[in-house]
Amino acid sequence: MFAGAAAALLVALVLALARAVLGPTVFDRVQAANTVGTLAMLLLAVIGFLTGRPDFLDLALVYGLLNVLGTFAVLKFFRYGDLGDPGEDEEHHT
């Protein structure tokens, strides 16, 4: 039954990658990357259950943390133009 869940997750991953490729704007691609991260986290957990190795869950947790941090970094770059200066308020960066 885990194989069925893993198959559904693979289908979802393919669709999310399709959106990442098709996405007209950069934010579509960031959204697709975020979704791929969540799905990969779930796939790691399911594979951990399939192969009977509980340490895969730690991998899924760390992967999820890194994925969110990556999303925030990319968003800050595309939002403020650079990562260097401390983020000013919205008025300065119209």
Kindly state the tokens that stand for 52.
Answer: 């009977």
Instruction: For residue 77, give every residue at least 6 positions away whose Cβ sits within 8 Å of its Cβ, in sequence order, or none.
Output: 83
Which residue has tokens 């595309």? 78
Q: Verify binding: residue 65, other proteins, rule CB under 8 A.
A: yes
Q: Quote the least distance from Cβ 16 to other proteins, whole Å.
A: 5
Q: Rounded to an integer, what is the distance from CA 36 to the centroid of its chain? A: 5
Q: Verify binding: residue 66, other proteins, rule CB under 8 A.
A: no
Kindly determine how many residues on this chain lie close enough to bind other proteins according to the rule CB under 8 A.
Answer: 48
- Tally of CB atoms within 10 A around 48: 18
- Which residues bind to other proteins, rule: CB under 8 A? 1-2, 4-9, 11-16, 18-19, 22, 25, 27-28, 30-32, 34-35, 38-39, 41-42, 45-46, 49, 54, 57-58, 60-61, 64-65, 68, 71-72, 75-76, 78-79, 90, 93
